[in-house]
Amino acid sequence: MLNRNFTLILLGNVILGSAMPMLIILGGLAGAWLAPQSWLATAPPSAQMIAGIAVASPISLFMGRFGRRAGFLLGAAALISGAILAVLALHVQNFVLLCLAHVALGAALICVNYFRFAASEAVAEEHRPQAISFTLASGLVAALIGPELFTWSKDALAPTPLAGAYAAMAVLGILGAVPVLCLKMQNTRTTQAQQNSISIREILARNPRIAVAIGVAALSQAMMVLLMTPTPLAMIGCGFMDDQAADVIRWHVVAMFAPGFFTGSLIKRFGAGRIAAIGIALLLISALVAVSGLELLNFYTALILLGVGWNFGFVSGTHMLQSVLNDQERPLIQGANDTILSISSSAASLLSGALYAGIGWIGLAGLSGPVLLIISFVLFRTNNRTKEYAS
């Protein structure tokens, strides 16, 4: 499985993906420094999120037409240009320019997300579950590198605060473009006419299992964001310290990515449907643990289970999607898939804040369980009906 292209994809994913945890830290801090009003502090990360929703499908179609390498080089260029623009915005203290920079950075992060699909296409069919899983697992390395790089670089361009961290991201873009340039994938490219000749509705009508696969990944993503986002606030509200909340999130991130080293093997042995079901069960248990108490152990256990459940559900959904698409359908459906994932993440993030403010942590966790059960029941019932129809 570890061929030349797959190795280069892993390397590119780690380098370019290291920008994501840096942006989680940077967006609000830089926004707070430049925002003309305090309530506008989150505008840069919001612009980044909206850009991700807007460009997911166009980028996938671009890759379908011009190849994965061209798409990832576009992502590296967006990372470099966005980072340089952010440095300039901080230097001249222009808030609008900072927001525009985060639009470019949001597009760059969406490009990075397609490494998991490229990894699946770079290996033999029997190794595709492991390829997707390993690519997501490599995100753990990026999650560890990013915060350290931020700490090391943030004051490099003093006295302008935070500019050094953005400059470091531009360097990541340059370095990440190197393994991408070395890729030699034999992509089956689609022409503009071929892309226009098919529609999402037609594809879903031919194969409803595509909707199930997208639904599994989107449900896992939304549930993870819904419970993860308010966790630090809930812990501090319960009297725990900032460093305790940070440690819970740290282990949650480890639990999200570390199972990637074996999730693919489990899918290969037991099937994506079963591993997806186990993932959703773990998400449900996570909510039950959160409801059962407000002790430190409850937060650790709930967030670790949440991370593992997300991994099983997300990897299984991604593999299920890849396995039912042909070359002509992939650019359109992969773009739609990542657009839906971005929308589900954004909606869950906004909803989590409103629910936490309205009904509290216990109420939020208690509500998420029944919703998860209802949606997962519909998904797996649809999947079983599709199998019966196919047989």
* pTM, full prediction: 0.83
Is position 219 within any domain?
yes
End-to-end CA distance of the chain: 32
Please tell me the predicted confidence (pLDDT) of residue 201.
77
Domain that holds residue 165: 1-182
Residues whose CB is less than 8 angstroms from the CB of residue 277 and which lie 6 or more positions away in sequence, other chains included: 376, 380
Give the integer Cα–Cα distance in Å for 218 and 166. Answer: 30
Same domain, 178 and 206: no
* Least confident stretch, 239-243, 303-307, 366-370: 239-243
By the 8 A CB rule, do 165 and 150 touch? yes
Neighbours of 386 (CB within 10 A): 17
Q: Is 227:368 a contact under the CB 8 Å cutoff?
A: yes
Tell me whether residue 187 is in a domain. no
Q: Which of 152, 182, 212 is at the close of a domain?
A: 182
**Does 190 score more than 70 pLDDT?**
no
Handedness of CA 204, 205, 206, 212 (dihedral sign): positive
CA distance 387 to 391: 6
Distance (Å) of CA 222 to CA 20, 215, 217, 236, 352: 18, 10, 9, 23, 10
Statement to judge: residues 178 and 205 lie in one domain: no
Supply the CATH number for residue 163's domain.
Answer: 1.20.1250.20
Does 192 map to a domain?
no
* Domain assignment of residue 193, yes or no: no
Based on the fold, state whether residues 146 and 38 are members of the same structural domain: yes
Residue 74 inside a domain? The answer is yes
Task: Give the tens place of pLDDT for each residue, 51-88.
Answer: 999 999 999 999 988 999 999 999 999 999 999 999 99
Q: State how many domains the chain has.
A: 2
Q: How many CB atoms lie within 10 A of CB 251?
A: 16
Residues 205 and 178 in one domain: no
pLDDT attached to residue 45: 86
237 lies in some domain: yes
In a domain, 314, yes or no: yes
The verdict on 205 and 175 lying in the same domain is no
Same domain, 272 and 127: no
- Render the burial of 145-184: b for 16+ CB within 10 Å, e for the rest: bbeebbeebbeebeebebbbbbbbbbebbeebbebbeebe
Q: Percent of the chain scored above 70 by pLDDT?
A: 94
Q: 208 and 310 share a domain?
A: yes
Distances (CA, A) of 97 to 22, 86, 108, 163: 19, 7, 17, 13
Residue 52 CA, chain-centre distance (Å), reads: 11
Same domain, 81 and 4: yes
Q: How far is CA 99 from CA 88, 147, 376, in A?
A: 12, 21, 37
Residue in the structure block whose two tokens are 């935070």: 162
Kindly give, in sequence order, each residue whose CB lies less than 8 Å from that of residue 197, ignoring residues fewer than 6 positions away. none
Residue that is last in its domain, among 128, 154, 182:
182
pLDDT band at 189 (very low <50, low <70, confident <90, very high): low
Q: What is the pLDDT of residues 140-186, one digit of tens each?
A: 888 888 888 988 998 999 999 999 999 999 999 999 999 999 998 77
With respect to residue 23, please indicate whether it lies within any of the assigned structural domains. Answer: yes
Convert the pLDDT of each residue in 339-372 to its tens digit: 999 899 888 888 888 888 889 999 999 999 999 9
Task: Specify the amino acid at residue 93.
Answer: Q
Q: For residue 391, what pLDDT band results from cuts at 50, 70 and 90?
A: very low
Question: Residues 44, 106, 170, 254: what is their CA dihedral angle, to the nearest 10 degrees?
Answer: 100
Instruction: Please report where in the chains the tokens 């310290």 appear, as a residue.
Output: 241
Distance CA 340, CA 220 (A): 12
Q: Quick check: 192 pLDDT over 60?
A: no
Of 372, 78, 68, 70, nearest in space to 215 by CA: 372
Query: Based on the domain organization, do 106 and 164 belong to the same domain?
Result: yes
Same domain, 206 and 174: no
Residues 34/94, Cβ–Cβ less than 8 Å: yes
**pLDDT at position 105:** 96
Q: Are residues 208 and 301 in the same domain?
A: yes
Same domain, 254 and 328: yes
DSSP 67: -
Q: Collect all residues with Cβ–Cβ distance below 8 Å to 39 and sequence separation of at least 6.
A: none
**Local confidence band at 388 (pLDDT 50, 70, 90 cut-offs):** very low
C-alpha 223/C-alpha 302 separation (Å) is 12
